Structure formats: structure tokens, C-alpha cells
Amino acid sequence: QVQVIQSGAEVKKPGSSVKVSCKTSGGTFNTDTLTWVRQAPGQGLEWMGAIIPMFGTANYAQKFQGRVTINADKSTTTVYMELSSLRFDDTAVYYCAREVWSGNDNWLDPWGQGTLVTVSS
């Protein structure tokens, strides 16, 4: 059974950076696709980017290009998402999820519990 456990809540000042971790277990870490999705208060889900640890190169949504970095530590089966130049509207719950591939189909499962990042002065 694959499990995804994220780091705890963060409070950050505008202009600073935040780094959220996502530890997985029970899967095939190197070949899994680990994805980051965020959800602002009362809003919908927004895909930020994803990484396959075996390849090491992440794919980012255009909206976050230049501000987000996703990387993976194979030794600890942990993926990290760092968002820089934080703004008030980056306040959100950040989710890590495994993208499952089966044949030509793919979906997100399981999801981590979410990490609340609050940007406040």
C-alpha cells in the first residue's frame, strides 16, 4: 500500500520561500510520478508540476515557471517542492500525490494529507 506523508504547516512572510516535503513508501519511488497540486482557501485544485525521480527533471505549469522547484531524494524516497518569492495569494494547501500509470491510463492516487502554507506579514 503506497503512503504519502507531507511535512507540517508553514507560516511565511511575503518575498520568502517555502519548502514542503513529501515522503512516500510502499511504491516504486524511482519510477513513480510525484505531483504537486495546490488549493487556495475556498478554491479549486491547481496542478503545479511533477517529477519522476529516476529522470530527475521536473515538469512545471507555466504559471509557476521560475518560482517553483521540485526535486527528489532517492535515498530517502522524499520529494520536495520549493516555492519562492511568496505572495499573499500563495496561501493555500499544497498536496503531493502519486500519479499512477496503468497501460495508457493515469490518475492521482494516493494523495498526501496536505500542507497549509500561510503567507502573512
Partner 1 sequence: DIQMTQSPSSLSASIGDRVTLTCRASQGITNFLNWYQQKPGKAPKLLIYAASSLASGVPSRFSGSGSGTDFTLTISSLQPEDFATYYCQQSYTTPRTFGQGTKVEIK
Judged by the rule CB under 8 A, the positions of this chain that interact with partner 1 are 35, 37, 44-47, 50, 59, 61-62, 95, 97, 99, 105-114
At its nearest, how many Å lie between partner 1 and the CB of residue 75?
26
Residue 89 grid coordinates: 495569494
CB of 83 to partner 1, least distance (A): 16
Chain centroid to CA 117: how far? 12
Nearer to partner 1, 14 or 45 (CB): 45
Nearer to partner 1, 16 or 31 (CB): 31
Cα–Cα distance measured from residue 84 to residue 41, given in angstroms and rounded to the nearest whole number: 20
Which of residues 29 and 94 has its CB atom nearest to partner 1 in the complex? 94
Q: Which residues contact 10 (CB under 8 A, 6 or more apart)?
A: 18, 20, 115, 116, 117, 118
* Residue 107: Cβ within 10 Å count: 10
Q: Which residues pair with 33 in a beta bridge?
A: 99
| Closer Cβ to partner 1, 29 or 95, answer by number | 95
Tell the smallest beta-carbon distance from residue 19 to partner 1 (Å).
20
